[in-house]
């Protein structure tokens, strides 16, 4: 059997301890949960926004959206370490926090978000984030209000948005709300929706490849 050499994000993904673990979220996947949540009139914040791929679709649903990241991706967002015990100027008072956190820091970032958000927290994660004894303690202490599982694969690729990538990992949204802090967790399947929610301008234009110039004829080799 030949080795799988595709760009798909596999379930057994291992990142260096100092990796940014940057796997941007396709905007259609954010729309899939945003249209199911009461965001109109609320302030939202993505504290690990990368190049803003989750921030942009949230503008379509929330009153205002802020973005920050520990790394400067050159898109004008605030550079801020979300795990520091303060909120950057202009972002304090966010009612919703949306994020696709680095997998290795997921528990810490969820706990921090639950301390800050006054209304709710929505986390995009591979479905494997629901596992492990350590994360079980988080879910036992603060049961999510909703687990929304994608039934179709979400096109995730490291370092860039790519509409054509093949994805081998399943993803879900895990949602907490302050109003349902101790309620029983609901499970919901997100029906196929990519075709409806995806837009051509969600993705950066692909670089054009200049065609190779045609070789010059060797005039000495052409018969008279």
User: How does pLDDT run across 115-130, given as a tens digit for each residue?
Assistant: 999 999 999 999 999 9
Full-model pTM: 0.84
Question: What are the tokens at 14?
Answer: 């291992």
Residue 155 lies in a domain: yes
Residue 2 lies in a domain: no
* Domain CATH number, residue 82: 3.40.50.150
Q: How many domains does the chain have?
A: 1
Residue 12 lies in a domain: no
Residue 220 lies in a domain: no
Residue 18 lies in a domain: no
User: How does pLDDT run across 25-50, given as a tens digit for each residue?
Assistant: 999 999 999 999 999 999 999 999 99
* Contacts by 212-217, CB closer than 8 A, 24 or more apart: none
User: How does pLDDT run across 205-222, given as a tens digit for each residue?
Assistant: 876 666 666 665 554 555
Residue 211 lies in a domain: no
- CA-based radius of gyration for the chain: 21
Residue 187 lies in a domain: yes
pLDDT of 158 > 90? The answer is yes
Sign of CA dihedral 151, 155, 158, 159: negative
Residue 209's pLDDT is 60
Enclosing domain of residue 99:
27-196
Which distant-in-sequence residues (6+ apart) come within 8 Å of 43 by Cβ?
A: 62, 63, 64, 65, 66, 93, 94, 95, 96
Q: How confident is the model at residue 132 (pLDDT cuts 50, 70, 90)?
A: very high
* Residue owning tokens 């349902």: 180
Residue 211's pLDDT is 63
Residue 223 lies in a domain: no
């Amino acid at each position: 059997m030949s080795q799988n050499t595709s760009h798909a994000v596999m379930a057994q993904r291992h990142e260096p301890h100092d990796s940014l673990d940057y796997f941007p979220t396709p905007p259609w996947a954010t729309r899939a949960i945003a249209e199911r949540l009461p965001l109109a009139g609320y302030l939202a914040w993505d504290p690990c926004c990368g190049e803003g791929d989750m921030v942009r679709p949230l503008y379509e649903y929330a009153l205002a959206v802020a973005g920050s990241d520990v790394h400067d991706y050159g898109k004008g967002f605030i550079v801020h370490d979300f795990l520091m015990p303060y909120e950057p100027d202009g972002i304090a008072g966010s009612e919703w926090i949306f994020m696709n956190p680095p997998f290795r820091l997921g528990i810490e970032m969820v706990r921090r978000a639950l301390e800050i958000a006054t209304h709710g927290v929505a986390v995009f994660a591979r479905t494997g984030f629901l596992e492990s004894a350590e994360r079980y303690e988080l879910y036992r202490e603060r049961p999510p209000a909703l687990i929304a599982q994608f039934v179709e694969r979400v096109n995730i690729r490291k370092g860039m948005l790519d509409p054509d990538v093949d994805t081998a990992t399943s993803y879900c949204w895990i949602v907490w709300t302050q109003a349902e802090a101790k309620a029983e967790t609901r499970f919901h399947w997100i029906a196929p929706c990519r075709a409806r929610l995806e837009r051509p301008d969600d993705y950066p234009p692909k670089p054009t490849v200049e065609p190779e110039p045609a070789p010059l004829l060797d005039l000495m080799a052409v018969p008279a």
